[in-house]
Amino acid sequence: MKTIEDLGDLRGKRVLVRSDFNVPLDGTTITDDGRIRAALPTLEALLDQGARVVVTAHLGRPKGAPEAKYSLAPVAARLGELLGREVALADDLVGDSAKATVAALQDGQVALLENVRFDARETSKDDAERGALADELAALADAFVSDGFGVVHRKQASVYDVAQRLPHAAGTLVLAEVEALRKAVEDPERPYVVVLGGAKVSDKLGVIGNLLTKADKLLIGGGMMFTFLKAQGHEVGSSLLEEDQVETVKGYLAQAQESGVEIVLPVDTLVAPEFGSDDFEVVAVDAIPAGTMGLDIGPRSAALFAEAILGARTIAWNGPMGVFERPAYAEGTKAVAQALVDTEGFSIVGGGDSAAAVRLLGFDEAGFGHISTGGGASLELLEGKTLPGIAVLED
Ligand SMILES: Nc1ncnc2c1ncn2[C@@H]1O[C@H](COP(=O)(O)OP(=O)(O)O)[C@@H](O)[C@H]1O
Ligand SMILES: O=C(OP(=O)(O)O)[C@H](O)COP(=O)(O)O
């Protein structure tokens, strides 16, 4: 991959940077700014050279139209504080406001475009639609730097198509992530254990087929566990469930058995009648009461998972074990994080929320082998897949 240095002298040049600023928010308060901090080295390197930096990023999953709760305004403010410079926020992505904001930039100044997913073309499956948006984005800049590692697994206009239209390079975050993760991908020390959880169940179920050919053990917690429990014939109440994936998961369970890979599922879970309720209890996974939802793995499961992690030489973890944002449902995630710190194996934590969980629960980042800013992206790299946002930079 080309680096920023390969782009030559960037003084006075308009450089479009794709960052991943998909940070956890409580209203308009950023609860963990790790992804913004991770973007700073590239932005500072460009600004120090006198480039005019235009940043594009997404927040959440808006449905292709502006929605106030997904505005990047809190991110612009935090980025300005961290850079120690004013960050102009355009009201739109490629409209009059964006054009005027970019035109007003002086050398060494930075602007942020409003949420790229407010434009439905960003995530379109249609090449021509994405291409039309990429043309408009490319018209705002002289060069493109891809540094949003958390989105390089997405074939989206601001990640993939725009790179085909401008001289391009990988930013320092993308380079560092790929280097750190490639080591684990190519020759993981064994036993190699992968821990999966979180809420993006349909996305992440897709990686399991390939992981079953790589890992020795898969530990499944978080929102993902209920589709597995259902596939085993258990009732899961009102827990997060991908009903249409139950058959696929049955296939994974059979595949694992044939190939000698162990899939470790929780034996107990913390349930409550509704999200946020303090009326919770721990039940066995074959006794989830109707009308309750599973919000964390239970203590027996946490001990089981910790034991597997402590016995491993390489551990990749993506996705919290429960709704860790509420202390009452954070114990499973804490236990897994603690085991990752205690193990003698090399540990990789991936994902916006998983990395945030580690910090918010008070763990020292130095206790982990690598904390990746990308969950889906790091998992797909670990699967051995070619990621569109990386491949396009290798051309
Ligand atoms: N049992 C569960 N039910 C619903 N949501 C859950 C459950 N367990 C974890 N989560 C949620 O998963 C979210 C993180 O998922 P995800 O985005 O997949 O992880 P990451 O960003 O680390 O890749 C957290 O906000 C957490 O509250
Ligand atoms: O948060 C992200 O990914 P992650 O939850 O897999 O770490 C990225 O910003 C990608 O977001 P997306 O999964 O909505 O494309």
pLDDT tens readout for residues 322-348: 999 999 999 999 999 999 999 999 999
Dist. CA 269–CA 271, nearest whole Å: 6
CA-to-CA dists, residue 126 to 63, 131, 263, angstroms:
16, 8, 37
Domains 4-176 and 188-383 belong to one CATH topology? yes
Asked if 191 contacts 343 with a C-beta cutoff of 8 angstroms, the reply is no
The topology under which CATH files domain 188-383 is Rossmann fold (3.40.50)
The predicted structure's pLDDT at residue 186: 86
- Supply the mean pLDDT for the chain: 97
Nearest to 174 by CA among 161, 187, 159, 164: 159
The predicted structure's pLDDT at residue 265: 98
| Catalytic-role residue among 2, 99, 200, 359 | 200
pLDDT tens readout for residues 250-268: 999 999 999 999 999 999 9
pLDDT tens readout for residues 264-282: 999 999 999 999 899 999 9
Nearest to 132 by CA among 176, 165, 106, 97: 165
How far is C-alpha 151 from the geometric centre of its chain's CA atoms?
7
Q: Which atom number of ligand 2 is nearest to the Cα of residue 61?
A: 14
pLDDT tens readout for residues 229-238: 999 999 999 9
Q: Of 36-40, 186-190, 299-303, which gets the smallest average pLDDT?
A: 186-190
Say which residue the tokens 């309750």 belong to.
292
The predicted structure's pLDDT at residue 131: 98
Q: Is 325 annotated as a binding residue?
A: yes
| Class of residue 392 by CB neighbours under 10 A (exposed 0-12, middle 13-18, buried 19+) | buried
The neighbouring-strand residues paired with 271 are 281, 294
Asked if 36 contacts 356 with a C-beta cutoff of 8 angstroms, the reply is no
pLDDT tens readout for residues 140-168: 999 999 999 999 999 999 999 999 999 99
The topology under which CATH files domain 4-176 is Rossmann fold (3.40.50)
Residue 28 reports pLDDT greater than 90: yes
Within the chain, how many helices (H) and strands (E) appear? 14, 17
The predicted structure's pLDDT at residue 184: 79
Dist. CA 192–CA 214, nearest whole Å: 8
Q: What percent of the chain has pLDDT over 70?
A: 100
Residue 395 reports pLDDT greater than 80: no
The predicted structure's pLDDT at residue 253: 98
Query: CB within 8 A of 313, min separation 6: which ones?
Result: 188, 189, 190, 191, 192, 344, 345, 346
pTM: 0.96
pLDDT tens readout for residues 219-230: 999 999 999 999
Q: Which residues line ligand 1 (CB under 6 A)?
A: 197-200, 222-223, 240, 294-295, 318-320, 322-323, 325, 351-354, 375
pLDDT tens readout for residues 51-90: 999 999 999 999 999 999 999 999 999 999 999 999 999 9
Residue 37 reports pLDDT greater than 90: yes
Encode 349-387: b = buried (16+ Cβ within 10 Å), e = exposed.
bbbbbbbbbbebbebeeeebbbbbbbbbbbbbbbbebeb
Dist. CA 223–CA 93, nearest whole Å: 33
Dist. CA 59–CA 166, nearest whole Å: 24
Provide the residue ranges of all domains of the chain, joining segments of one domain with +. Answer: 4-176, 188-383
Asked if 395 contacts 161 with a C-beta cutoff of 8 angstroms, the reply is no
How many A from CA of 389 to the centre of ligand 2?
14
Q: Is 61 annotated as a binding residue?
A: yes
pLDDT tens readout for residues 200-215: 999 999 999 999 999 9
Q: Which amino acid is at 224?
A: M
CA-to-CA dists, residue 193 to 35, 43, 55, 199, 325, angstroms:
25, 35, 36, 20, 25
Mutate which of 32, 323, 361, 378 for ligand 1 pocket (most atoms within 8 A of beta carbon): 323
Asked if 145 contacts 4 with a C-beta cutoff of 8 angstroms, the reply is yes
The predicted structure's pLDDT at residue 123: 98
Task: Please spell the DSSP secondary structure of 105-167, one letter per residue.
Answer: PPTT-EEE-S-GGGSGGGG-S-HHHHHHHHHHHHTT-SEEEE--GGGTTS--TTTTGGGGTS-
Q: What percent of the chain has pLDDT over 90?
A: 97
Mutate which of 23, 200, 349 for ligand 2 pocket (most atoms within 8 A of beta carbon): 200
Residue 113 reports pLDDT greater than 90: yes
Residue 182 reports pLDDT greater than 90: no
Max Cα distance, the chain (Å)? 65
For residue 131, the number of C-alpha atoms closer than 13 Å in the C-beta half-sphere is 4
